[in-house]
Amino acid sequence: MKNQLRIQAVLVALLSAGCFGNDPPVILSFTVDEPNPEAGAPVQFSFSVTGAAADGIRIDPVPGPVVTSPVTVVPPESAMYTLSVYNVDGIYVSKDIRITVRPAFAITAVDATPGQVAPGNDVTLSWTTTSAGRATITDPTSGQVLEVATSGSMIVHPAATTVYTLTAYNKLDKPPPSLTAKITARVARPPSVSNFVADPPAITQGASTRLSWTGDAVNYSVTDGTTTFNVGPRDSSAYGHRRSAPGHLADVHRALLRSTATRCGRVQSLRRGDPEDQGHRDRATSWAGLQSAARFDQGNL
């Protein structure tokens, strides 16, 4: 900078002494319409000069040589932009403008963790934005709109799967004024089972009954107190029960049925037929065990 000032001082002295026959160039103005543009957005430089040679005007680092004003440029990054003006004798003057490129206005990331919870458990909503002036989160269950940080997180306790709305507002008075993104907090409803019945509810030795139920679990397990086996939501199997005491009637209505895993589908019925049937021989269970399970679980079903 000091060397440049010395050179200019020498040139002024030479001009004063009549060593050059042309007037030095002069920059009357050098401006830009947006010194803080969004990434990828164009800006417009304007200038007014006198005494410049035909090819003696340039703006650096881009676009380089220019002829007329204004000049449109898309700044690739933040930088100092310099207008330089030369006359035919090679004498030049310059002026600088600082351009600071800001990130584009955007919602760059949203998330809800963990991915699935039981009703009422903690879910952390998180988000990141750029060039936002403010942000809000809308809870559709209550309708409440909360002011939040432009990038941050918050904990919610949804009772059911809930889709929250993040709204980010542009820091500058430029389009678009706002952006939105959805954040889904997924809640897994506990599995359920109902209408567990035996038809008929009382049978004699060697007879069979049909157990049926409805539910929304992925898997079920059925037990008679000694033997347990799993069934899928669309399984239908025949089974029968034997006992050692002849001529006894027993209520099997409240045999134990457990619902396991998560919701998905429905079991309509489960039946076990004649245990002498080769296809079902391996699933034969004791009648005494089924009675014990029925008595034990009677208060819970």
pLDDT in tens, 64-93: 999 999 999 999 999 999 999 999 999 999
**pLDDT of 259:** 47
φ/ψ of residue 148, rounded to 5: -130, 170
First to last CA, the chain: 91
Instruction: Give the pLDDT confidence of 147-206 residue by residue, as tens digits.
Output: 999 999 999 999 999 999 999 999 888 889 999 999 999 998 777 788 888 888 888 877
What is the C-alpha separation between 227 and 249, in angstroms, rounded? 21
Q: What pLDDT score was predicted for residue 6?
A: 61
Residue 44 has pLDDT above 80, yes or no: yes
Answer whether residue 236 shows pLDDT above 50.
no
Sign of CA dihedral 285, 287, 289, 294: positive
pLDDT band, very low/low/confident/very high, at 223 (cuts 50, 70, 90): confident
Average pLDDT over residues 39-47: 94
CA atoms of 272 and 182, how far apart (whole Å): 49
262 or 53, greater pLDDT: 53
In three state form, how does the secondary structure of the chain look?
Answer: CHHHHHHHHHHHHHHHCCCCCCCCCEEEEEEECCCCCECCCCEEEEEEEECCCCCCEEEECCCEECCCCCEEECCCCCEEEEEEEECCCCCEEEEEEEECCECCCEEEEEEEECCCECCCCCEEEEEEEECEEEEEEECCCCCCEEEECCCEEEEECCCCCEEEEEEEEECCCCCCCEEEEEEEECECCCCCEEEEEEECCEECCCCECEEEEEECEEEEEEECCCCEEEECCCCCCCEEEECCCCCCCEECCCCEEEEEEEECCCCCCECECCCCCHHHHHHCEEHHHHHHHHHHCCCCC
Q: What is the mean pLDDT of the chain?
A: 77
Structure tokens that stand for 106 in this block: 């955007």
Question: Rounded CA gap, 128 and 189, in Å?
Answer: 30
Q: Are 9 and 24 in contact (CB under 8 A)?
A: no
- Rounded CA-CA distance 212/220 in Å is 12
What domains lie within the chain, and their CATH numbers? 2-99 (2.60.40), 106-185 (2.60.40.10), 193-296 (no CATH)
